[in-house]
Amino acid sequence: MVRLATVFVAVAFVLALAIGCMTEPKVAPAKPPQPKAKAQAKAGPSPTAAPVAPAASPRPGSDMVAKSERYKASTGAGRDVIRDLNSPIAPVYKSRTFGELTQVTFTRVGGDTDVDVSPTEDLIAFSSDRHAKNHNVYVKSSAGTVITQKTFGPFDCIQPVFSPDGARVAYASNKNGNYDIWIVETHANGSAVQVTFGDEDDMHPSWAPDGVNLVYCSYSSRTAEWSVMQSNVRTGELRDLGPGKFPSVSPDGTKILFQRARERDGFWCSIWTMNTDGTNQTEIVSSADWAAINPCWSPDGQFIAFATVNKSPEAKLEERIWRGDGIYVVATNGRELIQVTYDTAPDWEPSWSPRDGRIYFVSERNGFRNIWNVKSPVDVVASAPKTESAPAPQPEAAPVAQPAAAPAIPMPPVASAPMAPAPMAPVPMAPAPMAPALAPAVTAVSTGPTAPVGPAASAHNPVPAQ
């Protein structure tokens, strides 16, 4: 009986199970969840999925990603600090300021710096370490890509500047150990001529309009200060004009523009002018929070272009005091401060073209140190070359009616001995008084925060802005 009961129960269970399978839909057993990456690896790429590009190699400036993210988070502005450093751009594009921004040099090895524009030809001079670990002087057309190397050797040649006639280039070189001023012909292949011979560094030459006098800055290890010096390249006569760095002679030859650091509270540099004899030193631009460096004159001598250090939020975030920040223009009276470049990458060392009025400068805006130019934000007129000429004729004065003469009264003749003409004593002629040069106002502009600075912030001269 027990065995029959067991068989009956088993048959009933089988029948119940069969009936349930017929009335209930089949449910697939649930599979355990798998990681998405493994599932894709087994299945392979979807035929409709877009191909995944290989990861790009890191570009210069990629180490600033974290700082960029922190900056965007802190400001909430969503501004990308490294946008231009990690994204290739076309050589020419519209800037956010004053028209076309044009790239002039295109090196991706080393870097170009110290630009100067010829006053007579479509040429620029600059220094570069594109071919060697040391810097050399090069000359090229501002519109072309062909370059001419002017200096050679295992030493640095930097800060070239054209003479007023464009036929020579003065520059600084440490060929003999310390930096001295040298001169080389622009087009000829002759040897360079040494101009200064001191034991200290002489740097940043600037020509006077006469083409004979050079102004430069010289370092003194005794005082640990830089001074502005003036040298006659023919006679060797030397004058000390006082403390300062990176001098630039005005187009009319009456003023010298330079930067000078204060001796307290940050030691930031500011922009000054003085007469060519060292008198009337006048501060034009200054700030307690940022430095003004690399000053240069506009072609008409009415404006000054310069670079700032530690002024922008990006520069403050990156603690960027070894390079410039942005390019600005200010009138010689200290007013009308205008920002010319707004890029997050460093811009510095402006040079105002005397031919077309554009402002050339050094920039790292595409991740490489190259030379660019931008349209000037102010209208400037290039000063005409000085030539000896006869004075312009003066307009004739209108004839003035004379009153009628009284009738002559007859006089008896008087006998007299003939008199020899008395010799004329020479009259010393005093030189014509020179018209006083217009001195900029003594006002110091404090338009927001200016940075510290010692020798200009450039790749070959890494001196902090103080």
Which CATH superfamily includes the segment(s) 65-374? Answer: TolB, C-terminal domain (2.120.10.30)
Which range is least confidently modeled, 40-44, 91-95, 144-148? 91-95
pLDDT of residue 149: 96
pLDDT of residue 382: 61
Whole-number percent of the chain with pLDDT over 90: 50
Name the most confidently modeled range: 7-11, 28-32, 86-90, 289-293: 289-293
The mean pLDDT value for 17-46 works out to: 44
pLDDT of residue 99: 60
CA distance 64 to 292: 25
pLDDT in tens, 83-124: 333 333 333 333 334 567 999 999 999 999 999 999 999 999
Of residues 73 and 315, which shows the higher confidence score? 315
pLDDT of residue 401: 45
The mean pLDDT value for 50-60 works out to: 47
* Residue 36: φ, ψ to 5°: -60, -40
pLDDT band at 189 (very low <50, low <70, confident <90, very high): confident
Contacts of 339 (CB under 8 A, 6+ apart): 97, 326, 327, 328
Of residues 361 and 344, which shows the higher confidence score? 361
Bridge partners for 256 per DSSP = 249, 274
The mean pLDDT value for 147-151 works out to: 96
From residue 463, how far is each of 35, 130, 300, 336, 454 by CA, in Å? Answer: 55, 21, 31, 29, 6
Which range is least confidently modeled, 109-113, 300-304, 451-455? 451-455
What are the sequence ranges of the domains in the chain?
Answer: 65-374
Q: How many residues does the chain have?
A: 466
Q: What's the chain's average pLDDT?
A: 73
pLDDT band at 228 (very low <50, low <70, confident <90, very high): very high
pLDDT of residue 465: 52
The mean pLDDT value for 191-220 works out to: 96
